[in-house]
Structures are given as structure tokens and as C-alpha cells.
Structure 1
């Protein structure tokens, strides 16, 4: 039958397959002559959790899903022993024999308990699978070995991580209690589950998910935890696989700690890792990204044609010795010709990123690109005036067409301006607003749209300043633009979080860069301005904090997804003062530091 609720729309056929003493509801879509992708759902879901992902994949693959025993339209055997791995593997083999085209290995994808089941499959019958994608469901044996190692050789970090996972696993202990979990599922947990998904992960209910059968599915599926978890975690087996494996790690997963992938490369030599800023139910919250990653993984394994962006993404995901943290990432930096911009471009290049260096001065941008290529992959130089909206539109399109969607964008270009408010002309205000604020708006708007369209997340860094929250009578225009950049970053962070895009505002204090030598001191003649620039340059040089220090904080902000990052002691003091004693900060603002 086709087009029934919860089966992913038209083109879906359903049939029954006899498993190990149970009848399994199997759903297929796509051309059966194409490579088969088998999607395994988790608990307490049914095959319908994959509807959106399956629809994305069906144009290129033969997509197979089924309700595991105890779920959806499949049989619900009674008794814990009927949910043990041996029966789950027998069911999986029956589905493979009924749906896979000949002896050709299939591509396996699992989420949650489907992933746990998938690990058992690729470790015990690897010849049946061409690739495996695991999402939010580790191998129980791997977790058992990792836990033993942490207990025998504890460190503060491993103890902290173990305690964190222990708290995340509260429901596993609860499911070991008799009768109570089943009773709760049958007497009203369905509505609470749907509400938790909507509030916690922004996933609205839709036909098929959560399933109408959820009370029965939740009660029956408890058997999965009782039949398999205690024994495997206490007595883990030596599970290894050579099947090319991709692990998608949601960094906001409330149930599975990202650190559980640690040491996985020792048991899975052909391993790739992808992180996504999302919660546990990634197939629902990021279906396009999941489908794209599955497709890239399969295409890479099969040796098919890949775009330059896809090759870069696969290279970045691949786990190997000596792999740098931003291997294969594309990073765009404006104002990259000198100072903080150049240092940031080089910091990312040293960590394996491909850098696009943009600056108003093409010669300095080219030099940064050349330096980046010496310590990392290729660097690319662009001349760009960030104040020019049309030019920025063309720049963003060029980056997209020539290099792909960037993973990180650093809107760093800016100019300095000091002097009395009454001495600032309209042209002065227009110039500093166009560069310091509109440049950030253009870069954020254009590249965030690309990241959102791709659906795989990313990170935007906006260079603000400690002046954003430290008022000064001598910096009215500059401080205003930087305060606007800070608030813009906070607003963008709130909006883009749901798309997996992080936003950070970097707030440097006194940093020795060329901005002191190029700043405008309004209301002064040329000779007086030159003298003021020399005094400012000497003062900043005496402070002794260089742009490399800011660059390191920028890299850390992207890595840790930090919202606001003051840099230097005075920036931290200003941040604290603005919060704790704004009146005192207003008194300091009256000082003429020029």
C-alpha cells in the first residue's frame, strides 16, 4: 500500500516478513535495483521516525525500514528473553533475505536502539554490510570495555564523564524494575513523551511520530533493556568490525554522552565521526543533514563521484592518527590581512582548516593565504569591502560556488575611531557603522543563510570589543558599533541555535594590532592625529598582548560553542564591572584617556 500515515508518503509499500517467531512489518521505497539502505529505528519509536530521512534517500537508494519486534505493526512477543540480541539478529537476517537484492551487501543505518542493534550486526556478520552509520546508540560491548578501563585507571576527567553518563542513563536503571515502567507507559506517558520532544528538542508531533501504538510499544520495548544491557555491560565481549563506519554524534544528546566514542578507533579501523549541535532525535530534527551524511558516506565507500565540498567533509570526518581538530573545515575570515584576522586565519590553518582570507587590501589577503598554505591546506585570497552590500553578496556566492559552504565564518573586519561625540560628523558615523556593524550584518546574514540551507550546522564568530560594555567619552562611535555587534550576536545565537549554528561574540581588550596605527581621531588635524596614533600604538605595545592570543580564544569559542568571550584581563574586569557596578563604570567613562 502507498501513502498511508507514518510511512513517509507516496511510493511506500508495506509487507509482512516472518522473523524469528514474529511477524515484522516491512516498508520499502525507491528503486529496488539501486543499492539498499536499511534504516533501524530506536526506542520507543517505530519505522516512522525515519519518514523524512527515507524520503530524502529514496531518490538515490532502495530504502528499507521495519518495525522491530514489540513496536508498531510488528508482533509483540511476551517475556524478556524474546528481546535478546540473538532474536533481533535473526529478525534482521530475515528482513535482509526478503528485501536485499541478491548477495550484495547493504548499507545499514541505526538510531538509538537501532544503532545498538546495528553494532551487534556489523560486528557479528560484517559480510552482509557495505557501510554502517550509527546515531546516538553505542555498542554495548564497547561501552562496557570503556567503563572498565575508566574504573581501573581513573582520572578526574574519566570520573566526571562516567558520572555524567550515569545521570543520563537514569531511565535504564528504572527499566530494570518490574511492572512499573510498563504500567506508566500504558497509563499516560504518551502525552508527556510528545511534550518532552516538543519542548526539549523542538520536534512537533506529526502523523506517525509519536506513533499511535506508543503505549504498547513503550511497554513492550522495555524488554530490550532488560534482556541485553545488564549482561553486556557486566561481561563485555570483544567486538570489532572492518565495516566502514560513520558515527553521527549529537552534542546536545541528553541520553548518550559524546565521550562514549573515545577509543572507538581501536576497534573500528575504518571510522568517521561527525558532530552536530542537536539533541537525541536527530532523524527528526536534522533529517536533511542526516540524509546528506548517509549519502556522502555511502558514496565515499562505493568510490562514487564526490563534489569538492563532499570530499572535504569526508576528509574532515575521517578518524586517523595525527588528525587535526579542524581537518577539512572551510573557514572564512574577513579583515584577514593583518592583526587578529591574520592570526585567526593561521590558527585555523594550523589545525587543518582550509582558509578563505578576505581583506580590503588584496596584497595582505594574498600574503595571509600564502602563510596559511604553509601550515595547513590551501589558502584563498579575496579582496572585499565588507561595507559594500552588493560586493558581499558576490563574495558569499563566490565562496559557495568555488569552495562550498563554510563551517566557520569570522566577521573580523573593523576600523577604529576616537574623539568627542560632538566632533563626529555624519560621514564619520556612516563610515564606522558601515564597516564595524554593517560588515558583520552582511557576513552573518549571507553565510548563515548558506549554513541553514545546507542543514549541517556551523559557527559564526563576530569580533566585538570590551568597548561594547565599557562606556567611554572618547569612543562614542566605535563603542556603539561594538555594542551593536554584541547584541546582534546574542540575538543571532538565540535564533540560529535551532539550526545547529553557533554564534560567538569575541570582546578583546587592549591588543597590539595595526588598528591603533590606522584609527581616525576625529576633531584633530593631521599632525595631531599622527601623534595620537603613535601614543596609542606605544601604549598597546606596552600592554604586550598580541593578536595570536585573541586567535586562540576564537578557536576555543568555536570548539566549545561559547557565547561571549572577553579577552585580556581588562576585558574581563570591564565585563564584571558592567554587571556588578554600572554606576562605577559610568564614572570611569568620564575620564579622558586620549
Structure 2
């Protein structure tokens, strides 16, 4: 189902391209994509939700048709969060994030709580449990070794050659990409191929303060300001059980940061659950907010 409409808005000094599904009189639902997707990633899920929500799906900074400023510093989380806060204005919303979009969603819930009525995360991680898992040298550390590779200079060029063969290999490693039809793949290639976008997407990783240990070589961490990193609104975590990029250990201890947490597991889905099982994901969301599909 194609969006009801699209537009570009200038917020926080950036041009942000937006897709909308559903009636604007309905409660707003901000949909935040991850790497290496764009706002069109919600084309499978939004049709199941737009009878109950006004779905708002931006291309985040550096992606798709939105601004892609040069350098690494513009992709610090403070700026990424500020983009979405400016987009919401003074109207609170349900915020749903996947992958890197979940990181932005968590930041909004923690630091701009007046804008987030409910937080929904699909296979995404709170920064503290994730950083702890990355530091252990264990399974999540091993699964995340692609992060130091992406941070290296020249990675965007390597991922782009041969019609994005390297990116597609990373995208699909040990996961089901049967949802990526030839038509959809062409759409993704068009977005990845916009000038400067591949480097901008990678700069999200470079700007992140996350430390990734080497497998079998744990690193020590400083203390965390637990009180400042609380999610105080209702929080729904929906997890594709076959994800090989983000493992369950990356969410251990989340209850310490989200007192009102509900966990739902989707069997037969991996990191790309919003494409593979959109109806089941939508049912979990709507059940949590108390309405029927």
C-alpha cells in the first residue's frame, strides 16, 4: 500500500522527507527506520496500523530524500533525536523504532519524554544493555564485529561496488530476505545511490560512542547514569526470535530502565520482522494499545 501522501519539511536545519498513511485526525505514530532502510520500509506494516494511527514515516537524516550533511558530527544522537523532536513539535506521539531507529526512539523517550506517549521497539536496543553486551567479548560481541568494519575509512565505497553487492551481503547475512522482491530491491538501490547517502548512513556508526570489544577479550566500562536513561512511558518490545545481528542478551536488564515493559516474541521472524510478519507485528501493537486489527 503506497503512502496517502508525501512531503518535505524543513526542521532543525534539515530537509526531512516524509511519507504518511492514514487520516491526520488519528493519533500520530512516528515510524523510525534503521540501517540500511528508509521511510519506505514501513510499506508492509503501515497498512495494518493506519486505521488506528496517523502513520508518519521520515527518511531520517542521511537517508533517502532527506538532507545528508557532510562529516561525522552531524550524525551524533543529539542531532538525530533533535530532528525527530522538531518534527513532532509540541504534539506527543506513539514512537516506533527498528534497529537504529530504535536508538533514536529510545533517545526521545529518555530525553524528550513529553513527546512520547508510548515507546514501541522492533528488534532494537537500549544503549546500556547493548553496550554491556558489546563489552563482554561473548556472542553479541562476535555478532557485532561488522561495526568496526563499517567504521573504517572506505567502507562506504566497498559496500557500493558491483551494484551494492557488499551492502546486500551484510543486509542478508544469515537472515531471510525473501521479502526483498526485485521491484523493492530496485527501490532500495535508488535510495542508496543518492549522492553522499552511503557515507552518511555509515556515519551513524562512526558518530556513536558505543565500544565494541574483540571476541573473547572483554573490556571494562564506566558507570552509567541510570536515572537519566529511564523510559518512563509504557514500552513494548517486539522481538523476531531468529535475529542473528541483535541477540536476546542485548536486551538483558532492560527492565531496570523501563519499569512498564511488555515483551512479545514473534516466531519465524528475524531482524526484518516488520517485512516478514507485518500482520503479527501489527496485532502485537494493537493488542498492547487495546484495539483490534
- For the aligned pair, the TM-score class normalised by the smaller chain equals 0.7 to 0.9
Query: Retained in 2: the 8 A contact 1:36–1:64?
Result: yes
Provide the residue aligned with 1:210 in structure 2.
188
Cα deviation, residue 269, structure 1: 0.4
**Structure 1 counterpart SS, 2:16:** strand
CA distance in 2 between counterparts of 1:173 and 1:229 reads: 12
Query: Retained in 1: the 8 A contact 2:131–2:210?
Result: no
CA distance in 1 between counterparts of 2:255 and 2:174 reads: 35
CA distance in 1 between counterparts of 2:157 and 2:62 reads: 16
Provide the residue aligned with 1:183 in structure 2.
157
Aligned residues: 276
CA distance in 2 between counterparts of 1:232 and 1:120 reads: 20
CA distance in 2 between counterparts of 1:173 and 1:17 reads: 34
CA distance in 1 between counterparts of 2:206 and 2:173 reads: 28
**Structure 1 counterpart SS, 2:285:** helix
Provide the residue aligned with 1:267 in structure 2.
257
Cα deviation, residue 104, structure 1: 4.7
Query: Retained in 1: the 8 A contact 2:151–2:206?
Result: yes
Query: Retained in 1: the 8 A contact 2:159–2:167?
Result: no
For 1:368-389, what per-residue CA distance to the aligned partner results, in whole angstroms no more than 9, with x for missing partners? xxxxxxxxxxxxxxxxxxxxxx
Check 1:141–1:19 CA distance in 2 against 1; reply closer, same or farther (3 A cut): farther
CA distance in 2 between counterparts of 1:259 and 1:269 reads: 18
CA distance in 1 between counterparts of 2:11 and 2:91 reads: 21
Cα deviation, residue 61, structure 1: 1.2
Provide the residue aligned with 2:208 in structure 1.
228
Query: Retained in 1: the 8 A contact 2:63–2:201?
Result: yes
Check 1:122–1:212 CA distance in 2 against 1; reply closer, same or farther (3 A cut): same
2:54 pairs, out of 33, 55, 62, with 62
Cα deviation, residue 121, structure 1: 1.0
**Structure 1 counterpart SS, 2:79:** helix
Cα deviation, residue 262, structure 1: 1.3
Check 1:120–1:199 CA distance in 2 against 1; reply closer, same or farther (3 A cut): closer
Provide the residue aligned with 1:241 in structure 2.
231
**Structure 1 counterpart SS, 2:208:** helix
Provide the residue aligned with 1:375 in structure 2.
none
CA distance in 1 between counterparts of 2:69 and 2:128 reads: 25
Structure 2 spans left out of the alignment, 5+ residues = 214-220
Check 1:231–1:86 CA distance in 2 against 1; reply closer, same or farther (3 A cut): farther
1:44 pairs, out of 36, 39, 46, with 36
CA distance in 1 between counterparts of 2:144 and 2:126 reads: 15
Provide the residue aligned with 1:219 in structure 2.
199
CA distance in 1 between counterparts of 2:73 and 2:233 reads: 29
For 1:532-557, what per-residue CA distance to the aligned partner results, in whole angstroms no more than 9, with x for missing partners? xxxxxxxxxxxxxxxxxxxxxxxxxx
Cα deviation, residue 143, structure 1: 2.2
Provide the residue aligned with 1:109 in structure 2.
96
TM-score normalised according to structure 2 size:
0.85
CA distance in 2 between counterparts of 1:171 and 1:243 reads: 32
**Structure 2 counterpart SS, 1:210:** helix
Provide the residue aligned with 2:288 in structure 1.
297
CA distance in 1 between counterparts of 2:149 and 2:66 reads: 25
CA distance in 1 between counterparts of 2:260 and 2:187 reads: 34
**Structure 2 counterpart SS, 1:184:** helix
CA distance in 1 between counterparts of 2:265 and 2:174 reads: 22
Cα deviation, residue 210, structure 1: 2.6
Residue correspondence of structure 1 range 30-429 to structure 2 within 5 A: 30-97=22-89, 103-145=90-132, 162-178=137-153, 180-188=154-162, 190-194=164-168, 197=172, 200-201=175-176, 202-205=178-181, 206-207=183-184, 210-216=188-194, 217-230=197-210, 236-238=224-226, 239-277=229-267, 278-299=269-290
Query: Retained in 2: the 8 A contact 1:140–1:232?
Result: no
Query: Retained in 2: the 8 A contact 1:197–1:204?
Result: no
Check 1:124–1:256 CA distance in 2 against 1; reply closer, same or farther (3 A cut): same
- The alignment yields a C-alpha RMSD, in angstroms, of 2.5
Query: Retained in 2: the 8 A contact 1:25–1:73?
Result: yes
Cα deviation, residue 45, structure 1: 0.5
Whichever of the two has the greater Rg, that structure is 1
**Structure 2 counterpart SS, 1:230:** coil
Cα deviation, residue 193, structure 1: 4.2
